[in-house]
Structure 1
Amino acid sequence: MNKNIKLKNAIIAIILTNLITVSLVVLLPIPFFGGKRLISKDLYDFTKRYDKLLKVENLIKNNYVDKKTIDENKLIEGAINGMVDSVGDPYTVYLDKQQFEDLLTQTRGSYGGVGIVVGEKEGKLTVIAPIEDSPAEKAGIKAGDIILKVDGKEISAKELEKAVSMMRGKEGTKVILTIFREGKGVKDYELTRSIIVLKTVKSQVLKGDIGYIRITSFDENTADEFEKAFEKLQKQNIKGLVLDLRDNPGGLLDTSVAIADMILPQGTIVYTIDTNGKKDVWKSDPQNINMPLVVLVNEGSASASEILSGAIRDFKAGTLIGTKTFGKGLVQNIIDLKDGTGLKVTIARYYTPSGECIQGKGIMPDIVYDLPKELKDKQLPIDEDPQIKKAIEVLMTKI
């Protein structure tokens, strides 16, 4: 039985709490009578497993001093949250109606918030990357910053989705983030929420007839945007391409695979292995961009960005320049529970074509080239960015 089925069964068990009759509970200690089984062994084992949960619910409902205030739906939601939290994976979470809608909205391209993608790193709630042109980026929040509090309330990596929900809200409202940055200490940032519109692809021609495409995240429209941007650059007779994945926190697996398919020759792009050992493989066709390529990455490049950059590295289809990536090699599935809520569950690990799982490790670029410390907190124009200059330098040797 895979993790999805187990979790669904557990949720069903909780929902059925009020449907289990007193007679069944009475019969549980004696599943046989007169040599005959009164209930099936599977049903007996299933119900026995949740016996304690049922007892606690009944004790609360019958003994709590203000029992008239008890909301049975909240009891169920709390039990589900506790069950999912006990898995110990910050990416496996139960999503209430607001959180589920927020997540679906984000993958469609816009939402109200401050524009931060967060993840767990070394047990801390860490900024994977601020979204380009967002309130967070404009305020100076950087990849690698650690979020300690939201509006004065302490928050941890175990409460990842709760933190995301607290940071989102109506346009024009304010939220205060308490941030720790290595070498800088703790600082409060007061941010005004805005509508975060995810235009995920930007492109232009650099000096030396070098094309430049920046992908800020992978949503439903990104592959089409990338294809149009590349075709436009081709019409301008580019001789090489810089693909900028810095501070790209990831997004949809299928989108990163679709872009990899445009870039790479025939072969395996990525494969996943789930809890049952089932292997799923995504492959590319022979058609590819067939030109010198440099990929820029940093500690804010995560998940789908690492799938794309890892495949390019393993195919030797381009040169990776920058710093080690974030290291998120887990795949999540979003399950609609059909009542407005959802479950996001880690279902597999992904592996680069060479068989490497980068979870917790990240990808080391071919050329390690960090920004100088004095430039890290600045918004640099493209023609003044040392890493882009390095990318052009490397490409010029290959043209």
Structure 2
Amino acid sequence: MGKRSLRQTWENVRRPLGYVCSGMIIMIVAMVGLFWYYTGRPSSMFEFFRTLEIIESHYAEDVDKNAIFDGALKGMVSTLGDKHSTYLGGDLYKDFSAQMSGTYAGIGVYIASTDDGILIAGVMEGSPAEEAGLQRGDILVSIDGTSVADYKLEDVSQRIRGPVDTSVDLVVRRDGEEQSFTVQRRQIHVPTVAGKMVDGTDVGYIRVAVFSEGTADDFTKEFTKLREQGMNKLILDLRDNPGGIVEQAVGVASNFVPPDSTIVSYTEQDGKVDQYTAQGTEDPIPLVVLVNENSASASEIIAGAVQDMKLGPIVGVKTYGKGTVQGVFPVDSSSAVKVTVAKYRTTNGREIDGVGIEPDVVVPLTPSDPEDSQFEKALEIIREK
């Protein structure tokens, strides 16, 4: 092969090789720039990958690279110091999606965190938990032989749930004694809305368990049905309701607030003010709202609106005090970031984050109480209207 042929061959190789090298350099510079932009440190990309390399090369045991990467994403969000902002990956994302859709695989209990530990705050009718004999007021001691003393509420929830047709072993404390239960998991459809007429009265009772997809439509159907059965007064039960989708709460409120009522508002990071206005009704009825220490977020939005508009008394104990709005932003098909985007204000402009809604009529209730004194007080009040 002559010199011209060699030179031509080199030229044919050099050009595409140069393009590839230039592309790689541009990509590296872009990555360094992105790391620098988001961290404020020019060496941040080096630090990130160097830390990964040190762990992989020197850690004494096998390394799960996916777990490390997920941990890095969780760490980014956790440094905000906001307990309501979190990275949702894997099972956490599945659990969150199931909660918002109202369907999950589990045993059918509501749990809450108390000074005594993790409390079974309610048992769904017809659920595996009810069939096994679990009761409201039981204190959870262990799951599959592991103590839950140091577990967060969401960790307990995740461990109780699992694949359909598997079982979970629970130990609970009831009346000072420990009892063991083996409960078979099934597909659970959470009835977010349930209602009935109070016997011998014109009072309707509707409980909303969570504000998930479809809750507003389900509430409107139940409300309309009870109206057709003679309901002229309403007890709205939001106890142990952790909140959910703001738009669903506004849709629920439309059944009993005046037309075009502002239910909640908040200011975004860029200064834009968002307001959620309910369509409302020209035919409101007297109502009482039940709340407790586990009523949070969207539940507090409704309770605050009812209180501000003087539509009826709030009965129970002070609510949780979660007055922030979270946006859920997908990362990919199996993960998302839930992050606080604003503090919301009630109808009259009150910010309740960390404060809660103070009831108009305070009625404490403990799991050991033989009767639901909060409901009885609400019934007493509404029957006088």
* Change in CA separation of 1:288 and 1:194 when aligned onto 2, cut-off 3 Å: farther
For 1:132, the equivalent position in structure 2 comes to 124
Tell me the alpha carbon deviations over residues 78-113 of structure 1, each in whole angstroms, 9 at most, x when there is no partner.
221232233333332222223212321221121112
The offset of 1:179, in angstroms, is 6.9
Q: 1:150 to 1:342 in 2, by over 3 A?
A: farther
- Counterpart of 1:195, as a letter, is Q
Within the candidate set 183, 193, 196, 1:201 is matched to 193
**In the TM superposition, what is the alpha-carbon distance from 1:249 to its structure 2 partner?**
2.4
Residues 137, 368 of structure 2: 8 Å contact kept: no
CA-CA distance at 1:337 after TM superposition: 1.2
Quote the residue 1:8 is aligned against: none
Name the SS of the counterpart of 1:262 in structure 2: coil
The superposition leaves residues 329-369 of structure 1 with CA deviations (integer Å, 9 ceiling, x where unpaired) of 22222222114122222222222112222223321211112
> Structure 1: where are the runs of 5+ without partners?
1-18, 32-38
In structure 1, the partner of 2:297 is 303
1:263 aligned residue:
256
Tell me which residue corresponds to 1:239. Answer: 232
Map Cα deviations across residues 215-250 of structure 1 (whole Å, 9 max, x no partner): 222221211111111111222232211112222222
Q: CA deviation at 1:302?
A: 2.0
Kept in 1, the 8 Å contact 2:194–2:222? The answer is yes
Q: Which amino acid aligns with 1:391?
A: A
> Of residues 375, 380, 383 in structure 2, which corresponds to 1:393?
380
- How high is the TM-score relative to the length of structure 2? 0.77
Structure 2 partner of 1:356: 350
**Secondary structure, counterpart of 1:359 in structure 2:** coil
**Residue type at the aligned position of 1:394:** I
Preserved contact between residue 255 and residue 280 of structure 2 (Cα < 8 Å): no
Q: 322, 325, 336: which one pairs with 2:319?
A: 325
Task: Give the C-alpha shift of residue 310 in structure 1.
Answer: 1.2
- The letter of the residue matching 1:302 is A
Name the CA distance, whole Å, in 1 between partners of 2:38 and 2:381.
65
Distance in 2, matches of 1:94 and 1:372, equals: 34
Task: Please name the residue that 1:57 is paired with.
Answer: 52
Alignment of 1:1-399 (within 5 A): 42=37, 45=40, 47-64=42-59, 69-116=62-109, 129-130=121-122, 132-133=124-125, 134=127, 139-142=134-137, 150-151=143-144, 152=146, 156=150, 161-176=154-169, 190=181, 192=183, 193-206=185-198, 207-265=200-258, 266-371=260-365, 374-375=368-369, 385-398=372-385
TM-aligned CA distance change 1:119 to 1:386, over 3 Å = closer
Partner of 1:11: none
Task: Provide the rounded CA distance (Å) in 2 between the counterparts of 1:87 and 1:178.
Answer: 36
The structure that has the greater radius of gyration is: 2
TM-aligned CA distance change 1:364 to 1:48, over 3 Å: same
Residues of 1 paired with 2:352 and 2:114: CA distance? 13
In structure 2, runs of 5+ residues without a counterpart are 1-22
* CA positional deviation for 1:314: 0.8
Displacement of 1:269: 0.3
Distance 2:120 2:41 in 1: 40
- Aligned CA distance change for structure 1 residues 344 and 179 (closer, same or farther; 3 Å): farther
Residues 173 and 155 from structure 1, CA distance in 2 versus in 1: closer, same or farther, beyond 3 angstroms?
farther
Aligned to 2:5: none
For residues 242-279 of structure 1, what are the alpha-carbon distances to aligned partners after superposition, in whole Å with 9 as ceiling and x for unaligned? 11222222222211111112221132101123455543
- Give 1:187 shift: 5.6
Distance 2:120 2:324 in 1: 15
Change (3 A) 1:391 1:59: closer
Partner-residue secondary structure (3-state), 2:195: strand
Residues 95 and 186 (structure 1), Cα distance of their counterparts in 2 relative to 1, 3 Å cut = farther
SS in 2 for 1:337: strand
Identical-pair percentage: 35
Change over 3 Å in CA distance of 1:289–1:199 after alignment to 2:
farther
TM-score of the pair, normalised by structure 1: 0.74
User: Measured at CA, do residues 362 and 43 of structure 1 come closer, stay the same or move farther in structure 2, by a change above 3 Å?
Assistant: closer
How big is the alpha-carbon RMSD for the aligned residues of Structure 1 and Structure 2?
A: 3.8
In the TM superposition, what is the alpha-carbon distance from 1:200 to its structure 2 partner?
1.7
Shift of 1:72: 3.2
Q: Give the partner amino acid of 1:56.
A: T
